[in-house]
Amino acid sequence: VVVVSDRWWRARLGAAPDVLGRVVHLNGAPFVVVGVAPPAFRGSYDAAPTDLWVPLMTYGTVRPRGVDVQRRTCGWL
C-alpha cells in the first residue's frame, strides 16, 4: 500500500478522483494507493519534501540501496 502526497497525486496521477485502489509501481513493485494526503501535510521529516509513504517493511523495495533499517544507528526511526 502507499499514501501519496497531494502534489504527487496531481502531477503523476492527474488528480484522478478514482485514485484509491489504483496500482502504481515503485521500483517495479506494485503498490495500491490507499490515500491522498491533504495539501498541507508534509509528514514527519520537514527538511525534505515527501511524496510517498509506504509501510516500513517495504523500505528495501522502495530504496534498495538505502539505509539498513535494522541497524540501531537509524536515528530517524
Q: Are 60 and 28 in contact (CB under 8 A)?
A: no
Mean pLDDT along residues 53-77: 77
pLDDT tens, position by position, 3-59: 999 999 999 999 999 999 999 999 899 999 999 999 999 887 777 788 999 998 888
Residue 25, CA distances (Å) to 29, 56, 77 in order: 5, 17, 25
Q: Is the pLDDT of residue 76 over 70?
A: no
